[in-house]
Structure 1
Amino acid sequence: MSGRVEAALAELGLTLPDVVPPLAAYQPAVRSGVYVYTAGQLPIVDGKLPVTGKVGGEVTAEEAHGLARICALNALAAVKSVAGDLDRIARVVKVVGFVASAPDFTGQPGVLNGASELLGRVLGDKGVHARSAVGVTVLPLDSPVEVEIQVELAQD
C-alpha cells in the first residue's frame, strides 16, 4: 500500500527501501500504543554502507548530510513495517542522530539536517520535530551517521 507520503518520496526521486535487517538482537521498529520507535538506522543501501569513517576526517559534512537523509529513509521503512502505511503518521515527535566525528568536528546539527529536511519535505508540518545531534567516537560498522526516530500515529 502506498499513499501520499510515498508519492512525496517519489516526487523527490526516492523509493522506500526494504527494511534494513537488524545487525544484532533487536527489532528495526516497535509500536507502543500510538507511538512507533525505530532502532538506530544506518545509511545502508543495498545491504552495505556507501562510505565509512569519521565526519570531518574521511567523510565530508556534505557527504554525511546525504547519509543522514538515507538513514531517515531507512527509518521511514522501519516505521511502515509496523504501522502498515506511512500516511498514518500524525507527526514525527523526535529525531536522535549520532555522528561519528573527527575530534575537531562540530557540525553535527548540519549533518542531521539531512534527516530533518527529508522528513519535512515528505511529511510537511507533520515532519516538524524535536531533535538531538550527538557527536560520538565510533558507530556500528564504522558508519559515519546513525538516526532513530519516534513517530506518533493517528488514532485507529
Structure 2
Amino acid sequence: MATVEERLAELGLTVPEVVPPVAAYVPALRNGNLVFTSGQLPMKDGAMSATGKVGSADGPDADAAKELAALCALNAIAAIKSVVGDLEKVTQVVKVVGFVASDPSFTGQPGVINGASELLGTAFGDRGKHARSAVGVAALPLDAAVEVEVVVAVAD
C-alpha cells in the first residue's frame, strides 16, 4: 500500500517546507491525538500564488481557486508533518474548514474547497474522508483568495 508521500508523488507533488507564520501563532499544534493546523494560505516557494476575490473580474475563477485550495491542503499536510514527523501516523482527517474570499455574487465555495478535500482524499485514501465547512468571506489575510484549516487524528 502506498504511503501518503508516495501518493502525492504520483500527482507530481512533494510535501513542501512549512510556511512560516505571518503573525503570532504556530502552523500546527497537537493536543492529545488531534493535530490542528492554523489557516493555511496558498503559498508556494514563499510567495502567495494568487490574490483577490473569487468570482470577481480581477480575482481567480472557481477552477483556479480550487487549485489554490489544494495548495492550501498541501501546506496543511506540511504543517501536520512538522508536528508528527511521519504522515503515516495520521489515522483520520477529521475536519476541514475552508474560507473563500468571494465576490458577493459568488456561491460556489463548496466547489472551491473540493480542491482541498480531493487532495486529502487522494493523499490519505479512506483516512482522508472528513467533515467539512466551506465559507465565503469578505477578505482573507494578505488578500489570499482561499484559506484552509485541517484537523487530523493521529496514533502515538
When normalised by structure 2's length, the TM-score is 0.97
- 2:59 is aligned with 1:56: no
Amino acid at match of 2:120: L
Answering whether residue 146 of structure 2 is matched by residue 145 of structure 1, we say yes
Residue equivalent to 1:41: 40
2:118 corresponds in structure 1 to 117
The RMSD of aligned alpha carbons is 0.8
Q: CA deviation at 1:59?
A: 1.1
Residues in 1 aligned to 2:49 and 2:149: alpha-carbon distance in whole angstroms: 19
- Provide the identity percentage: 65
Once the two structures are TM-superposed, the CA of residue 51 in structure 1 deviates from its matched residue by: 1.2
SS in 2 for 1:118: helix
**Segments of 4+ moved more than 6 angstroms:** none
2:156 corresponds to 1:133: no
Alignment deviations for residues 43-90 of structure 1 (CA, whole Å, 9 cap, x no partner): 000111121100001210000000000000000000000011101000
Which structure 1 residue ranges, 5 or more long, are not aligned?
Answer: none
In the TM superposition, residue 131 of structure 1 has moved relative to its aligned partner by: 0.1
Instruction: Verify: 1:73 aligned to 2:66, yes or no.
Output: no
The one-character-per-residue Cα deviations of 1:80-131 (angstroms, maximum 9, x if unpaired) are 0001110100000000000000010000000000000000011111000000
Instruction: Report the alpha carbon displacement of residue 22 of structure 1 after superposing the two structures with TM.
Output: 0.2
Name the TM-score, length of structure 1 as normaliser: 0.97
CA distance in 1, matches of 2:38, 2:122: 22
Worse-superposed segment, 43-52 or 73-82: 43-52
- 1:138 deviates by 0.2
> Equivalences for 1:23-38 in 2 at 5 Å?
23-38=22-37
SS for the counterpart of 1:17 is: coil
For 2:71, the aligned partner's letter is I
Across the two proteins, how many residue pairs are aligned to each other? Answer: 153
Partner of 1:106: 107
